[in-house]
């Protein structure tokens, strides 16, 4: 296996690791707050579940980028190409990490909306979805970069 191939794997790993961490933290945050509300009112489970899943998409995006990178794996990849794939992984890795946590925090605040004004919970969803735009954009650039290297 060449150094390039190792870099490619490293890139794929980074994409799924960091975006995964972001989502795990985000989903965890919402879950903690949500469990408190459900303890009071179990009927709000559905709405809170939707809020909780929202920060989970960054992990999926990281997974998607990792998958697309791994599709290009060969054991004789040049150093430059490997480095290219690694760089292509960076946008979704870094933005996925941070936006996952940020989205988790917005969604956690949204749990408060569900608790106090359940009729307005749609707005809480949308506010959390606003954060996701930047994860989408990062994923987009990652995908385009992967295409460029390949």
Partner 1 sequence: MAILEMKRIEILAMLANSKKIVDLLQEYGVVEIDDHQEESSDILYKVSVSPAISQIERFHASAESAIEILNNYAPVKSSMLASFAPRKDMTVSEFLEKSQDVDKILDRCSKLNGVYKKIQDKRIEIVRCNTLIEGLAPWLELDIPSSFKGTASTSAFIGRLPDAYDRESLISAIVSAEPELGFDVEIISSDKIQTCIIAICHKDGEKDFEQALRRLGFITVSDPNSALPGERMDQLQKDIEKCNDDIAEYESEINSFAQEREQIEFLLDYLMIRIDKYKILDKLSMSKNIFIVSGYIPATEVDGLEEKLEARFDVAISVTDPDFENEDVPVALSNGRVASTMEFVTNMYSTPGHDDIDPNPFMPFAYFNLFGLMLGDAGYGLLMVIVTLFVKLKIKPEPDKMRSVDYGLYCGIFTVIWGALMNGWFGDLPQYLGITFITDNHWYWFQPLDHTTRFLLFCFFLGLLHLGFGVVVNMIGKFKKGKILDGILDNVPVLMIIVGVLPLINSQIGGTALAETVQTLFIYDFLTGPAGRVLYMCLAAGAILVVLTQGRDSKGIIGKLGGGLWAIYNAASGYLGDILSYSRLLALGLCTGVIASVINQLASMPGNPIIFAVVCVFGHAVNLGINLIGTYVHTNRLQYVEFFSKFYEGGGRLFQPLKANSKTFKFKEEAKS
**Interface with partner 1 by CB under 8 A: which residues?**
49-50, 53-54, 56-57, 60-61, 63-64, 67-68, 122-123, 125-126, 128-130, 132-133, 136-137, 139-140, 143-144, 147
Minimal distance, residue 14 CB to partner 1, in Å: 18
Rounded to whole angstroms, how far apart are CA atoms 70 and 77? Answer: 12
Task: Indicate the residue among 4 and 55 with the shorter CB distance to partner 1.
Answer: 55
Question: 89: closest CA among 149, 143, 15?
Answer: 15
Rounded to whole angstroms, how far apart are CA atoms 104 and 120? Answer: 18
Token pair for 68: 């697309």
Q: Are the CB atoms for 114 and 39 separated by under 8 Å? A: no
Task: Indicate the residue among 61 and 85 with the shorter CB distance to partner 1.
Answer: 61
Task: Indicate the residue among 18 and 61 with the shorter CB distance to partner 1.
Answer: 61
Question: How far, CA to CA in Å, does 135 sit from each of 18, 28, 32, 90, 130?
Answer: 12, 18, 23, 12, 10
Minimal distance, residue 107 CB to partner 1, in Å: 11
Task: Indicate the residue among 5 and 142 with the shorter CB distance to partner 1.
Answer: 142
Minimal distance, residue 86 CB to partner 1, in Å: 19
């Amino acid at each position: 296996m060449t150094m390039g191939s190792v870099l490619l794997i490293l890139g794929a790993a980074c994409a799924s690791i960091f975006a995964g961490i972001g989502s795990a933290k985000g989903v965890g945050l919402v879950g903690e707050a949500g469990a408190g509300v459900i303890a009071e009112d179990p009927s709000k489970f559905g709405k809170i579940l939707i809020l909780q899943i929202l920060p989970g998409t960054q992990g999926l995006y990281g997974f998607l980028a990792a998958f697309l990178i791994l599709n290009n794996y060969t054991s004789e990849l040049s150093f430059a190409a490997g480095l290219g794939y690694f760089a292509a992984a960076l946008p979704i890795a870094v933005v996925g990490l941070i936006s996952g946590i940020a989205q988790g925090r917005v969604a956690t605040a949204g749990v408060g909306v569900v608790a106090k004004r359940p009729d307005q919970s749609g707005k809480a969803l949308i506010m959390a979805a606003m954060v996701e735009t930047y994860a989408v954009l990062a994923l987009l650039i990652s995908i385009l970069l992967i295409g460029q290297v390949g």
